[in-house]
Structure 1
């Protein structure tokens, strides 16, 4: 893609900043870099439920489970959401590059992600303040039936600073309906509290952490690296976790935990 082809579209996106036409202009600019089937712009605010700011698609099936499942709590297992939680993430991220090593084996992937028919996603990350990240997620789904090519990925990476700056500038005044809590009760603690109250299951802090890593798609080795413990210790925590929950598989863990996730987002305030 030549600079001459990009320049008019970039100029149009700049002119559209602060107007209702910006998302359309951004879409047109990105299409010159990489073909995509769908676009969704999401605002992540701390650990609150995300807000969808814009969406467009070729096949409406791609977003059918979005409002009920993803926004209902599944986003807590989303690799892109985990990028937001790291803080101050800018530029391009491809889902395949940031997802945990066992992501495609998770029930989150099988029960939610596959419903969308998405084959590939690339997101532009733009933090607008200490707690809010705007992501513009460009996806390839069954409409085209193929992932992004390396040429498309490289074209987006070359422009990632520009794209991130445009998104950040346009939505820099965005504020969520409720101000996100700066200090929050860790998700693992909220999970422990809810599980004990609703299921009578008492987990230790480490067992709850291991449960979340399993649900997100991390292998035993990956969990050990993140928690700085040996793989054998991870296996011990996993066995203890399954025994306390009265289960024997990740699928059963997912079935037990996921109905609780919609309540976890309502307990983010410190001391709640």
Structure 2
């Protein structure tokens, strides 16, 4: 469906969105308008920041109204492997981003993809990113059980300037509402748990300690990066990546990425 300049309903809806910027139903109105032109099956509005868990401002309701356990696992620490989270931390910029643009080469082979992504998002995801400052990114993510078509992406790309502008204008109201939620604002980054769990496992298995570089290699492996991608991100050779992987597996007493992912999950639930 295309948007014509004379589409009065469209302009009326955008005007209503601007009026609703400070109201609780803002997110519902926004996704309802987007859904008239591009179909999707789930959505979430959240803020990524370095040093704390994502702040969730709104999300699509579950069919039975109960909390989504998979999404709770995501907030506990799986987000550290989310391609969109990783991309937002590596390059801070506003825009519309597709899964295919940010996903590591081996994403679909990872335990994260098999045990979380394909069950929760299913097929495809796109995300509007509004870069607030160097550290914070406000995001509106849309998930679909089918691949977004080129026409849908083109439409979303055309309207992204006003969507991102609305996100930026909405943020002060979200921060004001969340100011009293100290638990969410002050929750420490669970990467420390991940490091502690790996180090404890290495100590228990071999009485050895993992290096910072081995920890970085392990995290990037779990997110789906190939040895070549890890080498590029860490500015080392692919052979050095393989050596770090071999040493890490030996210290942990494991033989597969699946076992490494299990240690990661234990860390998030510790």
Which TM-score band (shorter chain)?
Answer: 0.7 to 0.9
Task: Tell me the residue number matched to 2:163.
Answer: 163
CA distance, structure 1, for counterparts of residue 160 and residue 154 of structure 2 = 10
- CA distance in structure 1 between the partners assigned to 2:163 and 2:98 by the alignment: 15
Match of 1:134 in 2: 138
Q: What's the CA shift for 1:28? A: 2.7
Assess, with a 3 A threshold, how the Cα gap between structure 1 residues 165 and 93 changes in structure 2: closer, same or farther: same
Structure 1: runs of 5 or more not aligned: 264-272
Matches within 5 A, 1:81-92: 81-86=85-90, 88-92=92-96
Equivalent position SS for 2:148: coil
Q: Report Cα offsets for 1:187-239 as digits up to 9, x if no partner.
A: 4x764444324652510111111001101110011111111111111111111
Q: 2:28 aligns with which of 1, 24, 30?
A: 24
**Equivalent of 2:260 in 234, 239, 253:** 253
Query: Deviation per CA, 1:23-77, whole angstroms, max 9, x where unpaired?
Result: 1221133124411122211222333222322122585699733443111111111
Deviations 1:100-146 (A, max 9, x none): 111111101111112225211111112334543221111112xxxx2
Structure 2: distance between partners of 1:249 and 1:68:
26
The secondary structure found in structure 2 opposite 1:44 is strand
TM-score of the superposition, structure 2-length normalised? 0.84
Distance 1:210 1:127 in 2: 27
CA contact (8 A) 1:87 1:130 kept: no
Query: Counterparts of 1:64-103 in structure 2 under 5 Å?
Result: 64-86=68-90, 88-103=92-107
Residue 4 and residue 13 in structure 1: after superposition, are their counterparts in 2 closer, same or farther (change >3 A)?
A: farther
| Secondary structure, aligned partner of 1:124 | strand
Verify the 8 A CA contact 1:91 1:164 in the aligned structure 2. Answer: yes
- Return the TM-score normalized by structure 1: 0.83
User: Distance in 2 between the 1:59 and 1:149 partners?
Assistant: 26
Compared CA separation, residues 87 and 100, structure 1 to 2 (3 A)? closer
Indicate how the Cα distance of structure 1 residues 134 and 185 shifts in structure 2: closer, same or farther if over 3 A, else same.
Answer: closer
Gap runs ≥5 in structure 2: none
2:214 equivalent in structure 1: 207
Structure 1 stretch 79-88 or stretch 103-112: which is displaced more?
Answer: 79-88
1:109-120 alignment, distance < 5 Å: 109-116=113-120, 118-120=122-124
Q: Secondary structure at the match of 1:202?
A: coil
Query: Which residue is equivalent to 1:34?
Result: 38
Q: By how many angstroms is 1:87 displaced?
A: 5.9
Q: CA RMSD in A?
A: 2.8
